Amino acid sequence: MSEHHVYPVPESFKDAHITPERYEQMYRQSIDEPEIFFGNLAQEFLSWDTSWNTVCRYDFPKGEAEWFSGASLNISVNCIDRHLPERANQTALLWEGDDPSESQHITYAELKDEVSQLANALIARGVTKGDRVCIYMPMIPQAAYAMLACARIGAVHSVVFGGFSPEALKDRILDSDCQTVITADEGLRGGKRVPLKANVDKALAACPNVHTCLVVKRTGSDVDWSEGRDVWYEEFVASQSIDCAPVSVAAEDPLFILYTSGSTGKPKGVLHTSAGYLLQAAATFKYVFDYRDGEVFWCTADVGWVTGHSYIVYGPLANGATSLMFEGVPTYPDASRCWEVIDKHKVSIFYTAPTAIRALHVQGDEPVKRTSRASLRLLGTVGEPINPEAWEWYYKVVGDSRCPIVDTWWQTETGAHMITPLPGAHALKPGSASFPFFGVELALLNEDGSEIEGEGAGYLVVKRSWPSQIRSVYGDHQRLIDTYFSTYKGYYFTGDGAMRDADGYYWITGRVDDVLNVSGHRMGTAEVESALVLHEGIAEAAVVGFPHDIKGQGIYAYVTPMAGVEKSDALFKELIDLCVAEIGPIAKPDIIQWAPALPKTRSGKIMRRILRKIAENELDSLGDTSTLADPSVVENLIQERPQT
């Protein structure tokens, strides 16, 4: 923990939406009188068709939560139609292409037409309320149209990141029985093409229930065509009416499913519902980013992750903001790209991941300094702990020591920000996610489940429901209970460790389970292990994380070949290819160490703690090795450890 520097609220944020006094008063009320606080917030931020009976009712041990039950609304109306009287001609989505010469402004009026036409196209293909629609798209406006079109008719979207493999896509389509897929011929990232339609074709070979695949023409390349199932987006959507009556849904009707990795088994379909999710996405967007009317907000995430859902689409649009959507990558054509885009579109607020900041930091200051960035007012980070060095560079070089940084802690399961500084209310400590958002009541627990008071470190848990809480694991409610509500009774268990300092600031220390965070992407070690052992030459595999300068965590795989199998370069490559095929390029191991055997207890349990230490190169602190069945296994792994 770096306590070197504290950055006070700058003069320019003294008139922020949330001042220190307002934070104290609003936080207090959100905890002491949640019905009043959230009732007011819901009136202020959302437009309702009918009002609620109860603000909140929840039962953690049963994994149940209901917000605004009895109320109804439509999410696309909240994100589009209701803004039309004042904002019809304001840019809603500002799209910046992979190629720096391509960009497009989509106004709120145009957004309404696009979304309505697509919604009508879905209806024409038989999609109705409650049906699941898979969205496997590049970062183009149609990805946002697709999400909002589902919301308009009460269909449930399941966005699958375009970097996932056909195999991973297939699993996700089948798990939630999506019968409609929306995709593009190809994606374009950093000048490279991504064969999305070809991936969908491979996945759909095993998905007989999919009746419709809508295909956006992005690059115009040749694609295979399944007559009857495949439909060109442009032609079909353009032929639809621009009027589509929004379907009023219940506050607790599902809005989307988003798959995320856990420590065991296949990825879980995190289910979010409508009103509570949108309320917290909207309120955090306005308060955490101190958003002012007319500003351009840029979140660099992909819509395939929750960050893209909440802070490219739902949060900004619910506030009538201008949201920049970027198709490319931060280093293409070169390391100045982000800063050039900021100048080009006069971006006020820039929100990205620590891994991107580190990757740009190593390129030096020059690519930043050759741009102006005068429009920037606020910076943000998300996805993993930020090391104070990266924070300081972001602050001093990118933000010219003028822009506060909000380090936002949250999860796919929390739907929106949970712990974050508010730029007008809190002095910043580099590396600390700082304080709970309104309505978020936290605790740190000891191993035995007792609460830590004051300063200390422990397991991070949440003590009460919040509006954008995960409602279920799609198709497996018991798994929700087992994963989040069973470890510590009466709490939501985050899977993270954290520390609270003497000033009450929270510092997230990282996952305490077998979940990796590789370049801000969440991955279960079990998923990578399952991919590796699919190889017939492999007997066993154990995967752990290790510190990586750019990625935050790298993937370190210990692999035991079958007797007689040669540990060749060819085998090495086949294993990497398997991870890419089963999961996607983000799951490529950084290091594969051949392990004649894995360290196990006498009862046969793999001692991951020791494997982690070896991967981290912390060979002096292996800890207690007395329960090892065969200590020589560890000696061998240490001797054979590849240089990193």
Q: Is 436 annotated as a binding residue?
A: no
Q: Does 472 bind ligand WT7 (CB under 6 A)?
A: no
Q: Which of 407, 514, 527, 529 binds ligand WT7 (CB under 6 A)?
A: 407
Q: Which of 282, 382, 461, 499 binds ligand WT7 (CB under 6 A)?
A: 382
Which tokens sit at 545?
A: 């994380």
- Mapped onto helix, strand or coil, the DSSP state of residue 369 is helix
Q: Which of 75, 213, 275, 433 binds ligand WT7 (CB under 6 A)?
A: 433
Least Å distance, CB 2 to ligand WT7, is: 14
Within a 10 A sphere around the Cβ of 567, how many other Cβ atoms?
A: 13
Within a 10 A sphere around the Cβ of 570, how many other Cβ atoms?
A: 8
Q: Which of 83, 361, 377, 522 binds ligand WT7 (CB under 6 A)?
A: 522
Tell me how far apart the alpha carbons of residues 88 and 85 are, in angstroms, rounded to a whole number. Answer: 6
- Mapped onto helix, strand or coil, the DSSP state of residue 547 is strand
Distances (CA, A) of 293 to 279, 317, 347, 375: 18, 12, 13, 14
Q: Is 269 annotated as a binding residue?
A: no
List, in sequence order, every residue forming a beta bridge with 578; answer none if it has no partner: none
Q: Does 141 bind ligand WT7 (CB under 6 A)?
A: no
Q: Does 347 bind ligand WT7 (CB under 6 A)?
A: no
Tell me how far apart the alpha carbons of residues 433 and 406 are, in angstroms, rounded to a whole number. Answer: 7
Least Cα distance to 88 among 105, 109, 114 occurs for 109
**Beta strand pairing call for 156-159 and 254-260:** parallel
Q: Does 306 bind ligand WT7 (CB under 6 A)?
A: yes
Mark the segment that binds ligand WT7 (CB under 6 A) among 152-160, 357-365, 408-416, 538-546: 408-416
Which residue is it, tokens 């798959």?
Answer: 259
Mark the segment that binds ligand WT7 (CB under 6 A) among 14-22, 184-192, 380-388, 443-451: 380-388
Q: Which of 409, 484, 493, 505 binds ligand WT7 (CB under 6 A)?
A: 409
- Mapped onto helix, strand or coil, the DSSP state of residue 113 is helix
Mask of contacts with ligand WT7, 240-279, x by CB under 6 A? --------------------x-------------------
Least Cα distance to 178 among 130, 123, 238 occurs for 130
Q: Which of the 8 DSSP states describes residue 60? A: G
Q: Is 412 annotated as a binding residue?
A: yes
Mark the segment that binds ligand WT7 (CB under 6 A) among 42-50, 60-68, 403-411, 448-456: 403-411
Tell me how far apart the alpha carbons of residues 273 and 156 are, in angstroms, rounded to a whole number. Answer: 9
Q: Is 307 annotated as a binding residue?
A: yes
> Which of 333, 510 has the CB closer to ligand WT7?
510
> Which of 165, 553 has the CB closer to ligand WT7?
553
Least Å distance, CB 407 to ligand WT7, is: 5
Within a 10 A sphere around the Cβ of 526, how many other Cβ atoms?
A: 17
- Secondary structure element (H or E) that encloses residue 548, with its range: strand 538-548
> Which of 215, 508 has the CB closer to ligand WT7?
508
- Backbone dihedral angles phi then psi of residue 523, each to the nearest 5 degrees: -150, 135
Tell me how far apart the alpha carbons of residues 137 and 309 are, in angstroms, rounded to a whole number. Answer: 13
Mark the segment that binds ligand WT7 (CB under 6 A) among 207-215, 278-286, 410-418, 630-638: 410-418
Q: Which of the 8 DSSP states describes residue 606? A: B
In the annotated binding site, the residues are 189-192, 307, 383-385, 407-412, 496, 511, 519, 522, 533, 535, 538
In the annotated binding site for Mg(2+), the residues are 533, 535, 538
Residues in touch with ligand WT7 (CB under 6 A) = 260, 306-307, 382-385, 407-412, 433, 494-496, 508, 510-511, 517, 522
